[in-house]
A = this chain, B = another copy of it.
Amino acid sequence: MKETETARIISPREGRVIGGMLGPVVRGVHDHLLRYQWQMLNDEIPGAEPSHCIENFRLAAGVKQGEFYGMVFQDSDFGKWVEALGYKLMTTPDPELEQLADETIDLLGKAQREDGYLDTYFICNGIKNRWTNLRDCHELYCAGHLLEGAIAYYQATGKRKMLDIMIRYTDHIHMWFTTKNLRGFPGHAEIELALCKLADLTGEKKYLELAQAFIDRRGLEPYYFDEEQKKLDKPFFPWNNTFGRTYAQAHLPVRKQFTAEGHAVRALYLASGAADVALRTGDGELWEACKQQFINVIWKRMYVTGGVGSTYTGEAFTFDYDLPDDTAYAETCASVALIFFAHRMLLGETKGIYADAMESALYNTCLSGMSLDMKRFFYVNALSVFPEADEKDPNKKHVVPERQPWLGCACCPPNLARLLCSLITYQYTVRGREVQIHLFAESELNTEAAGQQIHIAVHTDYPCNGLVRISAGKGDYDLRIHIPGWCPRYTLQRNGENVQAKEQDGYILISGPFADEELILNLEMIPRRIHANNRVRSAAGKVAVAQGPVVYCAEEADNGPQLHLLQLARHAELKTVETELLGGTTVIEADACRTGFPDQEALYFSDVEERRTPVKLRLIPYYKWANRGKNEMQVWIRET
């Protein structure tokens, strides 16, 4: 059950990730990625697929002539970028990007129609068709992202211009979807999250009510999208999505959706939005549905890397325990969305399963979404990659063995940026007199709990090792600290003395008051084997290796080709080795073998003895793979 008091969301203004493993990543996003993405949105990166995102705003604003180009949801990329920038600006000034944002916001102002409408695709292509294809056309999705961006940018800078534009647009949407009696809801959830934020910011209940309506309207007969399709201006909308109601979670009322179905990003955004609404309305039935769906994901439909989405077709969930590794979709955005969902669940109940899922998605499929130099990106994060198959087997054409400089459908890179720029939000929450620590990035937090200003600092190289020093600043509050699900044993010292803290739901509670104290949490972190539930066919007879939350993989660069021939014995020692590889990497090594038959021309044979050649298996963190050219990779290794 949801706890009585909802935890308070930490603003990125209240802290910063400063060091350890994630500090440089966040700095990279601040210093490099936001600029790189700005150049992408402006088509300034040679060799990358054009974005046209800002250009579309220019066209809609009438300051330039030309044709809309890009995805129907291209506007959202600016929304996500300005949201990420807002989070950065909350702690780190950047006048140059701020000015670029302001200039683009001016464009938005010019592009906005007199009635408040603001979607470049429809403004450029024919506004009469707005709101007539909610299933496929992402208007509400784009509005949601722009609104989230506007809120973050306002909170960071105090500048109201984009916020005012977006409130005007949101009021326009509200009018259409309530007064004008449009009974639809978004084909791609997202605006629900933004509406809840706007309700929080303005105190206006109508925004929350609209979010709630978008949740409640789903899955009712007659099915809205079916009716919508019948009335569609077909020449204007030539495409026809044939994935059915489930694809956009329109198959059942949300409170009856107990399994994660359809397009994975849509499903998890919707679940996040539903949780947001339930948190604010106290709707227990909706909350329970969210919870069941979350459990369904993590216990039955999630890759060991925190990836979700088992099939390319519809970028979708398939069925329980169906987790093929070589045809996985596991979109970067879906893992970002899983973190959003888990975070909202944490606001309602402090349970380790939520923090564990955040960790798993963050340290694996989110980080794997970009190259170490943050210039190339994965959309799909498969767990087994054989480049020739990805090229020549149409079933695997979505699995690209090398990250791309940009993606025609560029949802993932800016999604990563907004996640990483607000990492502190996911690391901490405050519930009553508790400061809750869910993740262990090296960070500082200056927050308020139980009416006091509180300073917390975390010093750690986590997840490189499990030593976490927490400086608990002076104050009368409690600390609730996550003990990750992967951790078999831990010790806790408070001011140098061992403390026995009872673990409950994956957390320990250290009661205050504190007087500038030091807590040393030592999570036993050694390489470990992971096995999958019997029902996961792709993992039968196989083992994955992880250290802490970081899943490892074998890459051809370290192990030679034909990784499917590698075999790791059940009890072979897993050793960590510090290396200079890839900017400094803790690799895991083990004595293993490469099985196989003597090279021969025949495809099949009998009575040939298998050879077993001893080899040193070297595993690197999954998120670091594909930084050394196109080559094979496998997470799951055959086990003897």
Q: Mark A residues whose CB is within 8 Å of B.
A: 298-300, 302, 304, 310-314, 318-319, 321-322, 324, 327, 386, 388-389, 392-395, 486, 488, 528-537, 540-541, 544, 546, 562, 564-565, 567, 570, 595-597, 599-608, 610, 638, 640
Task: Name 6 extra pairs, CB < 8 A, besides A300-B603, A533-B597, A541-B564.
Answer: A299-B603, A322-B389, A395-B395, A533-B602, A536-B603, A541-B595
User: Which residue among A304, A392, A608 has the maximum number of chain B CB atoms within 10 Å of its CB?
Assistant: A392
The reply to whether B395 and A319 contact each other, CB–CB distance below 8 Å, is no
The reply to whether B313 and A530 contact each other, CB–CB distance below 8 Å, is no
CB-based nearest B residue for A529: B606
Which of B533, B546, B600, B607 is the one whose CB lies under 8 Å from A528?
Answer: B607
Which of B302, B535, B638 is the one whose CB lies under 8 Å from A541?
Answer: B638
Per the bound structure, the CA–CA distance linking A304 and B600 in Å amounts to: 16
Known A-B contacts A606-B531, A607-B528; A392 and B322 likewise in contact (beta carbons under 8 Å): yes
CB-based nearest B residue for A609: B570
The reply to whether A310 and B393 contact each other, CB–CB distance below 8 Å, is yes
The reply to whether B528 and A488 contact each other, CB–CB distance below 8 Å, is no
| Number of identical monomers bound together in the oligomeric complex | 2
Known A-B contacts A319-B392, A393-B318, A565-B540; A532 and B313 likewise in contact (beta carbons under 8 Å): no
CB-based nearest B residue for A596: B534
Which of B327, B600, B606 is the one whose CB lies under 8 Å from A486?
Answer: B606
Chain A contact residues: helix, strand, loop or mixed = loop
CB-based nearest B residue for A486: B606
Per the bound structure, the CA–CA distance linking A126 and B392 in Å amounts to: 38
Known A-B contacts A304-B604, A603-B536, A638-B540; A531 and B314 likewise in contact (beta carbons under 8 Å): no
Enumerate chain B residues within 8 angstroms of A544, measured Cβ to Cβ. Answer: 604
Known A-B contacts A313-B394, A392-B318, A394-B313; A534 and B640 likewise in contact (beta carbons under 8 Å): no
The reply to whether B531 and A597 contact each other, CB–CB distance below 8 Å, is yes
The reply to whether A604 and B565 contact each other, CB–CB distance below 8 Å, is no
Known A-B contacts A540-B565, A567-B541; A395 and B604 likewise in contact (beta carbons under 8 Å): no
Smallest CB–CB gap between A357 and chain B, Å?
Answer: 11
Enumerate chain B residues within 8 angstroms of A327, measured Cβ to Cβ. Answer: 395
Which of B395, B600, B603 is the one whose CB lies under 8 Å from A311?
Answer: B395
Enumerate chain B residues within 8 angstroms of A394, measured Cβ to Cβ. Answer: 311-314, 318
The reply to whether B533 and A600 contact each other, CB–CB distance below 8 Å, is yes
Enumerate chain B residues within 8 angstroms of A603, measured Cβ to Cβ. Answer: 298-300, 302, 321, 532-533, 536
A-B pairs with lowest CB-CB distance, top 7? A313-B394, A540-B564, A534-B596, A319-B392, A528-B606, A537-B564, A541-B638
The reply to whether A533 and B393 contact each other, CB–CB distance below 8 Å, is no
The reply to whether A570 and B610 contact each other, CB–CB distance below 8 Å, is yes
Smallest CB–CB gap between A604 and chain B, Å?
Answer: 5
CB-based nearest B residue for A317: B392
CB-based nearest B residue for A638: B541
Known A-B contacts A537-B386, A562-B534, A564-B540; A393 and B600 likewise in contact (beta carbons under 8 Å): no
The reply to whether B596 and A393 contact each other, CB–CB distance below 8 Å, is no
Enumerate chain B residues within 8 angstroms of A567, measured Cβ to Cβ. Answer: 541
CB-based nearest B residue for A567: B541
CB-based nearest B residue for A639: B610
Smallest CB–CB gap between A381 and chain B, Å?
Answer: 17
Per the bound structure, the CA–CA distance linking A304 and B395 in Å amounts to: 21
Enumerate chain B residues within 8 angstroms of A386, measured Cβ to Cβ. Answer: 537
Enumerate chain B residues within 8 angstroms of A565, measured Cβ to Cβ. Answer: 534, 540
Per the bound structure, the CA–CA distance linking A299 and B386 in Å amounts to: 20
Smallest CB–CB gap between A382 and chain B, Å?
Answer: 13
